[in-house]
Structure 1
Amino acid sequence: MLVLAVDTATPAVTAGLVHLSPAADADARPAVATLASRVKVDARAHAEVLTPQILECLAEAEVNRADLDAIVVGIGPGPFTGLRVGMATAAAFGDALGLPVHGVCSLDAIAADTTGEQREAGELLVVTDARRREVYWARYLNGVRVAGPEVRRPADVPVGEAVAIAGSAAHVDDFDLPVLPSETPSPAGLVTVAARALLSGAAPDALVPLYLRRPDAVENSFRTLDRTGV
């Protein structure tokens, strides 16, 4: 199965083509192989960068759009403007090509890339940049989310039983935990999270972004209304 994976929930604009196949036995994870990927860290260029990245991946892997079987997109949590670029692009490709579009939590994808490294180590904390001196966070045990996602200041994040951390390089040092080398959602991680649904042929859920708070423009409008008394 050929899957297009995209994510714009973090400052990294990510696109990739992934080959997914069933596990060899019931206890193993599905086989995930990245055929091509593009990652550009630029929080202000999601719209300009993403579609060219997708086309570059298709060209590199020598894959036609008609060869794709499904699309996976990170649904956040993430800032309003960047997040909606990835989701709108994935939805547009899915509609144009008649493909199912599966949304997955972007923090789950980061955790999926660390499973082999910390499988027996206990809980994992994943954090990404939420701006305003805050982070999006979630905790995982053996690859399964057990808390979050939420948005908080680093000092207020409940570390719980976490013994390692992954995610934003600018924020992992705010926590006194060993750092695992998974900073942003990868194409392979995104597809791994959606693998069961993809392989089963299950219809995807509606794409609902995980903003976790109102966009700045909405908040500003509410403050304006409050001051004027309207």
Structure 2
Amino acid sequence: MAVSARIHMLLLLISLLSRLGLGRYIEVRNPSFPMLACRCLDMLATEGQFTFMTAQPQLACAAFLIGEPTEVISLELSDVNIDCSAGDFIKIFDGWVLKGEKFPSSQDHPLPLRQRYTDYCSSSAAGGAVLSSQNVAMVFFRIHSPDSGFTLTVKKQHNPMPCNIMSQSPEGSFTMVMPHHHWNCSFSIIYPVELQLTELSLGQHCIVLYCTILS
């Protein structure tokens, strides 16, 4: 199955599980900092250490990370055992890529597209944590050899003024405040819902947007 089709099926599963309140990425079952296994295609919304280890070649893998609207995500790689010279790679993307479309778009994101990618196989990116600009991030990886892998440490940080938001909830109310900044901002939802804009305030120094998601 093509990776785009697999990702589409994963997002449909995410939508169903979120409505049912199931799944490790919707509900934190262990309040401590857990060590969990990461799958070839995965959705992660909890803090923790996630280890991926190949039993066979995995050539098109991705982990989608999401936090609350007022969070940004810190990602750090460790215990990396891959062969960059053989075509293995691990890349972190500041945002999500879905069906060829990037979120946030190049028009909305504060960084140029090339600066949103962090390549582990690049010597300048082999260490240290990477911080997302919004509440979603993504890890692409390709590993050819069995018994190779890595550990990904995921932490959340508070973002007092979120600009670009991906909602993981099928319902709720959200407020976006953009004080005296010339920003392009966006609010995205990954499944069909009814969206109601309840209030829009265009003040001289501040823009306030209130919206409600109805399942």
Alignment TM-score, normalising by the size of structure 1: 0.29
Q: Which has the higher helix share?
A: 1
Q: Which has the higher strand share?
A: 2
Alignment TM-score, normalising by the size of structure 2: 0.30
